[in-house]
Structure 1
Amino acid sequence: MATDYDAPRKNDEENEDSIEELKSRRNDKNSGKVDEDEVEAAEAFELPGADLSHEELTVRVLPRQADEFTCASCFLVKHRAQQAMEKNGLVYCVDCA
């Protein structure tokens, strides 16, 4: 282990002061507590498999655009630039072709 001989040395008095401070902090029972509302913190968490039956979802559906198609394999709406092939009247994207 390298030793820096140019670093200032600590006095024993400094160590005694810091030990006394640590002892007083340890005796202070409120020093480790965090002031946080548990109910408010719990509401922010989203648990997997949670019951969302009481929630409502509003979605605005746009009509089909002229430059879009729905892939017959993955059923995703894609831009015409991603069209790979058309077979039996069904259009497929480049990812599914």
Structure 2
Amino acid sequence: MATDYDAPRNKDDEQGHESLEALKSQRGGAQTALIDVEDSDTAEGIDLPGADLSGEELVVQVIPPREDEFTCASCFLVRHRSQVAREGKNGLYCRDCES
């Protein structure tokens, strides 16, 4: 059965809601929130968006394409030769870009 959540609610439709005091008494006591915090967690370990990373150096090992791979001229991803859809004037195009 579909429910229209935008329709106004009637008191008759609500099922057995108890008062706030009754719900608190059923709770049975105070509950405390547990937070998992490690001693090594500090604010320095958090990178904020837009942070200045000019002093950082990125080291990446570049591996040239193999004999059975090509770089798509549209999405620039390295694909296996079985993914070639067509060869255009700018290079090879993969099946994903052609679909």
* TM-score normalized with structure 1 length: 0.54
Letter in 1 for 2:77: L
* Deviation by residue 1:9-38 (Cα, 9 ceiling, x = unmatched): xxxxxx9xx8xxx8xxxxxxxxxxx9866x
Percent identity reads 55
Matches within 5 A, 1:72-87: 72-87=73-88
1:92 aligns with 2:93: yes
Counterpart for residue 58 of structure 2: 57
- The residue number in structure 2 matching 1:66 is 67
Q: Gaps (5+ residues) in structure 1? A: 2-14, 23-33
Length, aligned pairs only: 68
CA root-mean-square deviation? 3.1
Runs of 4+ residues deviating >6 angstroms? none
Q: Which residue of 1 aligns with 2:25?
A: none
Greater Cα radius of gyration, structure 1 or 2: 1
Structure 1 residues 42, 83: CA separation in 2 closer, same or farther (over 3 Å shift)? same
What is the TM-score with the length of structure 2 in the denominator? 0.53
How far apart, CA to CA, are the structure 1 residues paired with 2:63 and 2:53? 25
